[in-house]
Amino acid sequence: ILNEDGSFTRTLTEEQDRELLFNTRLALAKEEELKKIAKSMLEKDYDLEEIMSITGLSKEDLEKLQK
């Protein structure tokens, strides 16, 4: 536990903890895949607005990928 203050902690069942971990990993994997797609699109000179529309990534995210 990082913080034992009761207002910062909550108890999860083992199943809830597994589900939360799975969903977090899934979200991270999806984000990484979207970044790979966006990077490929950037390399092919797609318009930033079009990439943002397709991937849902922000302009700032795309600028980081261009570096």
The tens digit of pLDDT for each residue in 19-67 reads 989 999 999 999 999 999 999 999 999 999 999 999 999 999 999 999 8
Measured torsion, CA atoms of residues 61, 30, 32, 18, in degrees rounded to the nearest 10: 120
Confidence category of residue 7, pLDDT binned at 50, 70, 90: low
| Token code pair at residue 6 | 């009761």
Confidence category of residue 16, pLDDT binned at 50, 70, 90: confident
Which tops the pLDDT comparison, 1 or 19? Answer: 19
Confidence category of residue 13, pLDDT binned at 50, 70, 90: confident
b/e per residue 53-63 (b: at least 16 CB within 10 A): eebebeeebbe
User: How far apart, in whole angstroms, are the C-alpha atoms of residue 7 and residue 4?
Assistant: 8
Count other Cβ atoms within 10 Å, centred on residue 38.
Answer: 22
pTM confidence score:
0.73
